[in-house]
Structure 1
Amino acid sequence: MKAVRLNAYDETPELVEVPDPKVEGPLDIVVKIGGAGVCRTDLHIIEGQWEEKSGVALPYTIGHENAGWVEAVGSAVTNVKPGDPVILHPLVTCGLCRACRFGDDVHCENSRFPGIDSDGGYAEYLRTSARSAVKLDPSLEPADVAALADAGLTAYHAASKAAQHLRPGDKVVVIGAGGLGHIGIQVLAALTPAEMIVVDANDEALELAAELGATHTVRAGEGAVERVQELTGGHGAEAVIDFVGEGGAVEAGVKMLRRAGNYYVVGYGGSLNIPTIDVISTEINFIGNLVGSYNDLVELMVLAAQGKVRLHTFKYALGDHTRALEDLHHGNVRGRAILIP
């Protein structure tokens, strides 16, 4: 089969021929890829930022946002059959450790992460676990939802956490309306009646945010904090969900938060540098968000089937992976880029 392989860090991955994956264990499935999301994390992987953390041996196939059709199943698989359309939870988990027993499978003690620490879905086929497969509603096409497997799942995980604490009349600030943010906006609109204030540096992104349910839009930069304070009656928002996490977003975002508010960290690259006296005197909380659970993905697929969450996608052939990665790097993708074998 054809696959996009990373041969060395800081080099462009290459499209090459590799052996087709085979079912090796009783719970394995092989999926024919219908769409693979192109994520900013893929850029960080290529740059070598994940080298130490992932411990992966090069060369390997990248791509961790995957959907398609079941091609083959192991002897113990009962939840899917060949031909079923599926979206794949990004992790392969054991189901036996403490975290898995709690349904917190993103923290599985024995997990494998295709596309991060093992072969992923920038390919024609992918081997994963039946535990990772979520069957798609007939109204959904794999290529249209593939990026929901990680970007959408991450956005849902953070937004649903925030929604549990937001009440009518509350305010929530969303920083960043791009690939993850535009999904988070839709999730918040579906799950909470709170007023949504979206902050972004790009006018097109703000226009999209307004279409997707933002109550107010604010251009990032000078005057943004003051505008949010004005919209919240000078108190700040009950919650801030930061999909950027760098370039001054954190510093501005903390100033947009009210006393006893929750700051949900999703984007990364910057640093939290907050005086401890400011944390205790206002009782603000900082909450990290890493991907999401299998059940989060199931719930997200319900919203997608109901038409309440939809991806804005740019589709590329698998052989155009270099152009897709470059477009993402240069900020030319509004929404999510999808590779289609």
Structure 2
Amino acid sequence: MKAVRVVGYHENLRLEDVDKPEITGPHDVVVKIGGAGVCRTDLHILEGQWAEKSQVRLPYTIGHENAGWVAAVGSAVTNVAEGDKVILHPLVTCGLCRACRDGDDVHCENSAFPGIDTDGGYAEYLKTSARSVVKIDDRLEPSDVAALADAGLTAYHAVAKSSRRLRAGDRVVIIGAGGLGHIGIQVMAALSPAEIIVVDRNPDALKLALELGAQHGVVAGGDHVEEVLTLTGGHGAEQVIDFVGEGGSTSEGLRMTRRAGDYHVVGYGENVDVPTIDLISSEINIIGNLVGSYNDLAALMALAAAGKVTLHTAKYPLDRFQDAIDDLDNGRVRGRAILIP
């Protein structure tokens, strides 16, 4: 089969012929890929940022946002059958450790991460496990929802945590209305009665944010922090979700957070630098957010099937992988880039 491989760091990806994955264990599921999301993490992988953490052996197939159709199943698989339309939780988990038994499988002690530390979905087929496949509604197509497997799931996870602390009359600030942020806005509008304020440098992104359920759009790059404070009566928002995490957004996000509020960090790239006395005196919580759980993904797909979350995509054939990578790296993708074998 055809697969897009990492052959070396700081080198271009390469399309190669590799063996199609086969069922080797009772809980294995082989999926025919219908769509694979192109994520900024993939750029970081090519830069070598994940080399030490993942310990992956090169060459390997990249791609961790995947959806498609079940092609084969192991002897003990009962939750899906050949032909089922599925989206894949990004982790392959054990089901036996404490985190898995708590439903917090993203922190599984014995996980594999296709596309990060083992072969992923920039390919015609991918092997995963029964624990990782979520059946999707017949109204949804794999290429339309693939990036919800990570970008959408990460956004849902942070927003769901945040929304539990919000009530009518509260305000939430969402920093960044791009690939993750535009999903987060929709999830927040679906889950919470709070007033949504979106901050982004791109006026077109803010226009989309208002169409997706935000009440206010604030252009970053000037006195946007003061503008947010004005919109929140001078107090800041009860919840701030930062999908950027660099370029000064962390200090600005904390300034936009109300006393006893929560600042959620999702994007990464810089340090959070805050005097401990400020944390104590304001009782602001700084909360890190990783990708969501299997149950989070199932809930997100229910919102997608109900038409409450729509992924904006730019689609590319698999052999145009370099165009997709270049477009993402140069800011030419609105929403998420999707590779289709």
Q: Does 1:45 align with 2:74?
A: no
Q: CA deviation at 1:221?
A: 1.8
Q: Percent of counterpart pairs with the same letter?
A: 72
Q: Which residue of 1 aligns with 2:314?
A: 314
Structure 1 residue aligned with 2:54: 54
Shift of 1:105: 0.1
**Equivalence for 1:86:** 86
Shift of 1:175: 0.1
Corresponding residue for residue 250 of structure 2: 250
Letter paired with 2:43:
L
For residues 49-78 of structure 1, what are the alpha-carbon distances to aligned partners after superposition, in whole Å with 9 as ceiling and x for unaligned?
000000000000000000000000000000
Equivalence map 1:251-330=2 (5 Å): 251-330=251-330
The 2-side partners of 1:289 and 1:55 are apart by 23
> What is the rounded CA distance, in whole Å, between the counterparts of 2:122 and 2:165 in structure 1?
38
2:326 equivalent to 1:332: no
Separation (CA, whole Å) in 2 of partners of 1:99 and 1:134: 19
Tell me how far 1:276 sits from its aligned partner: 0.5
Partner SS for 1:143: helix
Helix, strand or coil: the match of 2:122? coil
Q: Which amino acid in 1 is paired with 2:121?
A: G
Q: Distance in 1 between matches of 2:12 and 2:250?
A: 31
Q: Secondary structure at the match of 2:261?
A: strand
TM-score, structure 2 normalization: 1.00
Other-structure match for 2:110:
110
- SS of the residue 2:158 aligns to: helix
Aligned to 2:189: 189
* 1:24 aligned partner, one-letter code: T
Partner of 1:236: 236
- 3-state DSSP of counterpart to 1:286: strand
* TM-score of the aligned structures, taking structure 1 as reference length: 1.00
Q: Matches of residues 129-278 of structure 1 in structure 2 within 5 Å?
A: 129-278=129-278
Which deviates more, 60-69 or 247-256?
247-256
Q: Which runs of 4+ in 1 moved over 4 A?
A: none
**Aligned equivalents of 1:186, 1:74: Cα separation in 2:** 36
Whole-angstrom distance in 2 between the partners of 1:57 and 1:24: 21
- Partners in 2 of 1:48 and 1:202 — Cα distance? 29
| Counterpart secondary structure, 1:240 | strand
* TM-superposition CA deviations, 1:132-171 (whole Å, max 9, x none): 0000101100000000000000000000000000000000
Which letter does structure 2 place at the counterpart of 1:250? T
Instruction: Identify unmatched segments of 5+ residues in structure 1.
Output: none
Per-residue CA deviation, residues 206-232 of structure 1 (Å, 9 max, x unaligned), is 011010011100011221010000000
Structural RMSD (CA): 0.4
Please report how far the alpha carbon of residue 298 of structure 1 lies from its aligned counterpart in structure 2 after TM superposition: 0.1
Structure 2: runs of 5+ lacking an equivalent:
none
Q: Quick one: distance in 1 between partners of 2:242 and 2:155? A: 10
- 1:94 & 1:85 partners in 2: Cα distance? 23
- SS state of the match for residue 172, structure 1? strand
Deviation of 1:278 after TM superposition, in Å, equals 0.4
Q: Partner of 2:26: helix, strand, or coil? A: coil
How many angstroms does 1:251 deviate by? 1.2
- Aligned residue identity for 1:51: A
Structure 2 residue identity aligned to 1:330 = N
CA–CA distance in structure 2, aligned partners of residues 299 and 197 of structure 1: 24
Q: Distance between the aligned counterparts of 1:183 and 1:239, measured in 2? A: 17
